[in-house]
Chains A and B, each alone.
Chain A
Amino acid sequence: MKELDTTMKTALDTVRLARHGKRPTTRDYIDALIDDFIELHGDRRFADDPAMVAGIGFLEGIPVTIMGQQKGRNVKENIRRNFGMAHPEGYRKALRLMLQAERFGRPVITLIDTPGAYPGIGAEERGQAEAIAVNLYEMSGLRVPIVTCVTGEGGSGGALGIAVADRVFMLSNAIYSVISHEGCASILWKDTGRTADAAEALRLTARDLKELKVIDGIIPEPDPGAHEFPAETARRLKKTLLQTLRELLEIDPDALLQQRYMKFRNMGIFANSAGTIL
């Protein structure tokens, strides 16, 4: 990997980096970014979801609420963290703490690293779809600044469920997609051998998303990636988060919400019957 220039990387190479076993997890970033972090637990309805970590602390003296999906470092921890796939409780905990942040005028930072929301029996019984839908709805009206960074895998609705933000960034080796390339190849082509094609076709790298105007910026990881230089990656992430928050904290809530609405309102590419691209 080392000799490869970033421009030579295939989409599948990026996917592998985004899922790299030594890639820093959400908790690693929180520990590097946040002073006096206190983790807060539970959705007050059913359970605490270890696949979603959330809490409060200081980012360079600014009180913040920070949260994200948490993967494990080894098999044992991954089982406890459910490989970073949250249940409805995870999304409801996230929402509870976002509303708490709003109440006390604290900005919200979310870090995205999940293969997706968990597809299981309990998750469906307790309303996985409803939990995500309500988060999208509530985040679009949350009256404090929200900044998101996709640090690893941005897996579909499970990622978006905490990613309706004023500014969305991606680390340079992160991915963000509507479906995994494996899922895409299997559903669309019934061919699990075509995952590399699917990874290209989905346009899931940071550069693709910037081109499609879905994200605001790319935070470059030192070569060959965050797994080799976690501290430097965290330093760059912190710099971007701080600069962005300082800018957003100056905006009135009504203007902030209007801008957030328009940001997502303008996403999508289509035409009218005259062929004009809108």
Chain B
Amino acid sequence: MLAKLFVKCQQCGTTHFYSFFKHAYFVCSRCGHHFRLDAPTWLKQLCDRGSFQELDGNLKSLDPLGFPKYESKLAQATQQTGANEAVMTGVGEIDGYPAAMAVMEPNFIMASMGSVVGEKITRLLEYAALNKLPVLMVISSGGARMQEGILSLMQMAKTAAAIRRLHESRMPLITVLTDPTTGGVTASFAMLGDISIAEAGALIGFAGPRVIQQTIGQKLPEGFQRAEFLLEHGMLDIVVPRKNLKKTIVTILKIHRSRPYTRRPQYFN
């Protein structure tokens, strides 16, 4: 594949050898731009080889509203990405630590959340609650999926409620927010992590920058809605460069592995 020999950074234009670039975790060595990764690449980067087992990979979107061109859009997304929906969920091991995992597919209709994404996330959280597994989510999303209308909006309530179930079994949710994380996904499970990590430079927000600019009719400040901006405003725990991400996640999993004080707090009864 000739196309895979070189890659050009979308941000600074530098050309990289693909093989070197891959070993640099798909981060531009010149400007630090973090490229968007698909779910299989993320899983390869994070999971121990051969440990990941997919769950609910058979769920498929329908066209519940009969929305114009939705069916062809789904077919096209499947063809382009090789994925059958905008999130992949399953269980795997990270340096030997088991975790339930969800990774979004940024190129599948902008990783928007419709019924299937909501259902897969919810089932994963319920599975983790039942089996006492910590949950790791690598998130990116354009928001709720317009083509499923109000049903997409309701997935926000559904996934947020399922995180409560996870907490009732005292398991943590670790979120990794990647570029871009916006809309209904940010306003539900993405902002409910016990520990929120973001990738450097990631756009994270409720409303998209274009909508905000149209609403207020003035230019947005430099760095607005970027990960560093959110960190400064207290909306994130840490911003981590991709090369340190796995190490950070492993440490967090390790800290949550044992519970020195076992008395159950009363607030959940």
Contact = CB atoms under 8 A, between A and B. Distances in A.
Nearest to B221: A121
Contacts of B115: 267-270
Contacts of A120: 212, 215-216
Interface string B187-219: 111111000000000000111000110011000
A212 B144 CA distance: 17
Contact of B62 (A117, A183, A212, A277): A277
B178 interface: no
B161 A121 contact: no
Contacts of A183: 211
Contacts of B61: 270-271
Nearest to A267: B154
A12 interface: no
B155 A130 contact: no
Interface string B107-128: 0000000111011001000000
B161 A164 contact: yes
B132 interface: no
A197 B115 CA distance: 22
Interface in A112-144: 117-121, 123-130, 132-134, 136-137, 140-141
Given A188-B146, A212-B64, A268 B155 contact: yes
Nearest to B234: A127
Contacts of B211: 119, 183
B67 interface: yes
A117 B156 CA distance: 15
Contact of B146 (A125, A187, A265, A271): A187
B163 A270 contact: no
A58 interface: no
A184 interface: yes
B12 interface: no
Nearest to A117: B206
A198 to B, nearest CB: 9
Best-buried of A178, A179, A212, A264 by chain B (most CB within 10 Å)? A178
B224 interface: yes
A202 interface: yes
A74 interface: no
B252 interface: no
A129 B186 contact: yes
B154 A126 contact: no
A176 B149 CA distance: 9
Contacts of B161: 136-137, 140-141, 164, 260-261, 264-265
Given A133-B160, A270-B60, A203 B206 contact: no
Contacts of A177: 149-150, 153
A96 B221 CA distance: 31
B24 interface: no
Contacts of A264: 154, 157-158, 161
A194 B154 CA distance: 25
B194 to A, nearest CB: 12
B224 A124 contact: yes
B224 A202 contact: no
B247 to A, nearest CB: 27
A137 B144 contact: no
Interface in A156-189: 156-157, 160-161, 164, 176-179, 183-184, 187-188
A134 B191 contact: yes
A204 interface: yes
Contacts of A272: 58-60
Contact of B189 (A125, A133, A201, A261): A133
Q: List the 10 shortest-distance A-B pairs measured between CB atoms, nearest first.
A: A119-B207, A268-B115, A140-B161, A136-B160, A269-B64, A129-B206, A129-B186, A133-B191, A273-B58, A267-B154
17 contacts: A119-B206, A119-B211, A121-B216, A156-B153, A157-B183, A178-B144, A184-B146, A187-B146, A201-B67, A201-B149, A214-B154, A265-B162, A267-B155, A268-B154, A269-B62, A274-B58, A278-B119
Interface of A: 117-121, 123-130, 132-134, 136-137, 140-141, 156-157, 160-161, 164, 176-179, 183-184, 187-188, 197, 201-204, 208-209, 212, 214, 260-261, 264-265, 267-274, 277-278
